């Protein structure tokens, strides 16, 4: 197992994980603070949390309501 972890290119994976974490945090803050969304707010929170990288992007493209 340790040999497998040593073979992982962390220089490539670490920035992707950082971007994903940042996107999730920003999308959650925007979702929680917004008064209205396209669909139930609880559904968007689940999508943001459980669908990696694409979930926050979907929220910003489809879920936000710009009234």
Q: What is the pLDDT along the chain (67 residues), one digit of tens a residue?
A: 778 778 888 888 899 999 999 999 999 999 999 988 888 999 999 999 999 889 999 999 998 877 6
pLDDT of residue 6: 81
pLDDT of residue 32: 93
pLDDT of residue 22: 95
- Give the pair of three-digit tokens for residue 37: 């969304």
Other Cβ atoms less than 10 A from the Cβ of 67: the count is 4
For residue 24, the SS3 value is helix
pLDDT of residue 44: 94
């Amino acid at each position: 197992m340790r040999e497998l972890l040593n073979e992982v290119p962390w220089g490539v994976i670490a920035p992707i994980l950082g971007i994903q974490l940042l996107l999730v945090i920003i999308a959650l803050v925007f979702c929680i603070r917004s008064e209205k969304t396209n669909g139930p707010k609880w559904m968007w929170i689940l999508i943001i949390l459980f669908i990696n990288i694409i979930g926050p992007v979907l929220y910003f493209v489809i879920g936000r309501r710009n009234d």
